[in-house]
Chains A and B, each alone.
Chain A
Amino acid sequence: MKVSIFITCLGDVFYVNAGKATVELLERYGCEVDFPETQTCCGQPAYNSGYHEKTKAAAKNMITAFEHSEYVVCPSGSCAYMFREYEELLQNEPDWKVKAAALKRKTYELTQFLTEILQIENTGAEFHAKATYHTSCHMTRLLGVKEAPLKLLSNVSGLEMVDLPNRHDCCGFGGTFSVKMPEISQQMVDEKALHIEETDADVLIGADGGCLMNIGGRLNRQKKPIKVMHIAEILNSRGDN
């Protein structure tokens, strides 16, 4: 099975370990992994800010970059979902619209791909920690991936998972929202940080770079000793932590 990695900007620049773990996981299950080098950003910052005309170049670039891929796998629910918006974005350009629909059909978020396509519920991972999981909004509400990450995490040996209170609440990232409405965003991430602390977990696990950067950035500022990790790192872990 051929899989192309859609790494996302945050994954390419900040969360490199999550990307590495994604590749290693997929290869372990026999996927032939490639990385189309012309990929850039999915365009979500411009799209969600209302700059739809200015999103089109990014969308077309991504469609072209992954045109020949069999499957596209992304370690972010939010960015994976953005690929699903292209069809409507390019609805007045019939050729592109068709290509956008094809991209939508073959794109999966990592845990979704593992459970739905590879039919894996246990990655054989071992990670010793008490952890809690942040459900990111776009992944659960828009992409509809709810159970997959929790199922996979429940099978990691050595990992004690604790429910995060009010887990359905947004962490306050919201892309440009975090810098456009910083005062409100801060209150939201503070509330999230408070609930994470209540769980007494050592590690916060998430599946979206944006949320992790937001929550991790706030926890670091508050000097809270909670480690923030991407789910791919946990699922690829071999108990050497």
Chain B
Amino acid sequence: MPLHVGEKAFKSRVEKGLGNEFMRGAVRSAQGRLQDSRSHAAEELGDWEEWRNLGQEIRQHTMENLDFYLQQLSEKVAERGGHVYFAETADDANHYISEVIEKKKARKIAKSKSMVTEEIALNDILEEQGCNVVETDLGEYILQIDDHDPPSHIVAPALHKNKEQIRDVFKEKLGYLHTEKPEELTLFAREQLRKEFLSAEVGITGCNFAVAESGTCALVTNEGNARMVSTLPKTQITVMGMERIVPTWEELDVLVSLLTRAAVGQKLTSYVTALTGPKEESEGDGPEEFHLVVVDNGRSKILGTEFQEALHCIRCAACINVCPVYRHIGGHAYGSIYPGPIGAVLTPLLAGYEDYKELPYASSLCGACTEVCPVKIPLHEYLIDHRRNIVEKENKSNLSEKLAMQGFHKLAGSAGLFNIATKMAPFLVTPFVRDGTISKGPGPLKAWTGARELPLPQKERFRDWFKHRTKGGQHIAKRGD
């Protein structure tokens, strides 16, 4: 199933994540590093909040005029001799790409990093077709070598592995003989990949932003692999989510600045590659044939809904890097190639609540994601909106929760009942009190006391104290006293 990774049940995925000390250590240190560099890069810019406002405005304007800009993009690409295909579903996209490759009788495919091709599970289809698909982004390459371990992060797909584990993967699968030093590991991967670039017949890339006014696709990388993928093979296929578009180069400038700073804390990545159609006669290199595949796969259904701003996402992963829940359970626990807060928002929108109804609850609603998002997506509010849909529209909440909320509704809505309940609280818990604390709570309190003591309700509530208190030695008479 596209989008999906790992085991089916959320609970067992979470248990697996919580029990994986290696993964948690790797994620913790990566998050720390990424958080620090992001804040530094944001501060350095000075007026970060104004940049965020600008980012939000650009995304808002683009989504509100998406049909216009997609049309413009498609015309410009065609003018430059490229082919554009709008794919409504994952199957449509895969089918088109697979046909292009079939026509070329190509067998060797080099890919640069692309989340949307993960989303539509393109590699599976191409491999079934007998193609040798090589991921050339270092993180993706490691995962592919490691028996197709799924990505756990949208920018750093192998974030869940530490360098010792990577050394072991290279050793076991490719006969690597050196140490876990990043320089040695990278040099080794570079040597392996160079051969692949030179022999690939088709290059497949993702697209960070497509520029509508010129029909250009911009790729943001640090490794330069996307430039190789888009230069050496004779045929290039670029796959983009339909929302990954900017009106002009001016907006590209703003969004690339926001992206690189928010994602990895860099002013700019080592490479920002801008490609416009196939190579022209005067040009020395580049593909002879260029295809742009624009993938909808559920995105247009989000347009015009309360969740429209989820389409503003520029895939920087800043929300993932600050999320304390992600830190403990890791990316695979989300069961989707889009993990973390944005994944918990986006995945149910693209794939429905049935398989992902727990994701909106995998958050303490601390708001760290919303605070850090460079285009101001109200992420934690969207999680509440999802919960509301699950409860009020889909009626998918469980019976005990429904009963509890029914009870809460009655209590909180009635001053009289609330008064009685809070007055009774100390007596109701009496059977569970041991040594002045509650260590084993009944019913719904059990989950609380699994890890924590529950304080005792006070015999004299605040309201009783206030009613009967003396102020400056004088008893204050209150209404109803």
Contacts and interface: CB of A to CB of B under 8 A. Distances in A.
A177 B412 contact: no
A184 interface: yes
B157 to A, nearest CB: 23
A58 interface: yes
A91 interface: no
A218 interface: yes
A9 B422 contact: yes
Interface stretch (B42-50, B207-215, B255-263, B361-369): B361-369
Contacts of A189: 451-452
Interface in B432-481: 437, 439, 444-445, 447-448, 450-458, 460-463, 465-467, 471, 480
A70 B362 CA distance: 39
Given A13-B425, A13-B461, A35-B466, A213 B455 contact: yes
B388 A16 contact: no
A37 interface: yes
B463 A12 contact: yes
A121 to B, nearest CB: 25
Given A61-B414, A168-B368, A50 B384 contact: yes
Q: Which of A11, A16, A191, A216 has the most CB of B within 10 A?
A: A16
B81 to A, nearest CB: 49
A137 B413 CA distance: 27
B392 A52 contact: yes
B466 A47 contact: no
A95 to B, nearest CB: 17
Interface string B325-346: 1001100000000000000000
Contact of B405 (A11, A41, A49, A174): A49
A60 B364 CA distance: 26
B325 A179 contact: no
Interface residues of B, number: 65
A9 B422 CA distance: 8
A141 B463 contact: no
A25 to B, nearest CB: 13
Given A20-B465, A50-B390, A170-B324, A40 B452 contact: no
B409 A16 contact: no
A48 B365 contact: yes
A58 B361 CA distance: 22
Nearest to A20: B465
A46 B425 contact: no
A53 B452 CA distance: 31
Contact of A221 (B408, B451, B467, B471): B451
Contacts of B453: 216-217, 220-221
A218 B408 contact: no
Interface string B384-415: 10111111100001000100011011011111
Contacts of A54: 405-406, 408-409
Contacts of A174: 363-366
Given A53-B392, A141-B370, A184-B362, A169 B409 contact: no
A170 B412 contact: no
Interface in A175-219: 175, 177-189, 191, 213-214, 216-218
Interface string A29-69: 00000010111110101111111111101101100010000
A149 interface: no
B405 A16 contact: no
Nearest to B384: A48
Nearest to B466: A35
A39 B415 contact: yes
Given A52-B388, A58-B413, A16 B454 contact: no
Given A16-B462, A65-B415, A141 B366 contact: yes
In this complex, the member of A7, A14, A23 whose beta carbon has the largest number of chain B beta carbons within 10 angstroms is A14
B462 A51 contact: no
Contact of A13 (B15, B409, B458, B466): B458
Contacts of B462: 7, 11-13, 16, 19-20, 35
Interface string B369-383: 011000000000000
A191 B454 CA distance: 19
B306 to A, nearest CB: 11
A230 to B, nearest CB: 12
A166 to B, nearest CB: 9
Contacts of B324: 169-170, 172, 188, 191
A173 interface: yes
Nearest to A182: B447
A116 interface: no
Interface string B225-251: 000000000000000000000000000
B191 to A, nearest CB: 40
B68 interface: no
B18 to A, nearest CB: 6
B471 to A, nearest CB: 7
Given A179-B448, A188-B324, A141 B371 contact: yes
A142 interface: yes
Interface of A: 5, 7, 9, 11-14, 16, 19-20, 23, 27, 35, 37-41, 43, 45-55, 57-58, 60-61, 65, 137-138, 141-142, 168-170, 172-175, 177-189, 191, 213-214, 216-218, 220-221
Given A37-B480, A50-B387, 15 more contacts: A23-B466, A37-B467, A40-B411, A46-B409, A48-B387, A49-B391, A50-B390, A54-B406, A137-B365, A137-B366, A169-B366, A181-B14, A181-B361, A184-B328, A214-B452
Q: 8 smallest A-B Cβ distances: which pairs? A: A174-B364, A57-B413, A50-B387, A217-B452, A170-B366, A58-B412, A38-B415, A137-B366
22 contacts: A5-B466, A12-B463, A40-B413, A40-B414, A41-B411, A48-B384, A49-B397, A49-B405, A50-B388, A51-B405, A61-B415, A141-B370, A170-B366, A172-B364, A175-B365, A180-B361, A181-B362, A184-B325, A187-B18, A188-B328, A217-B454, A221-B439
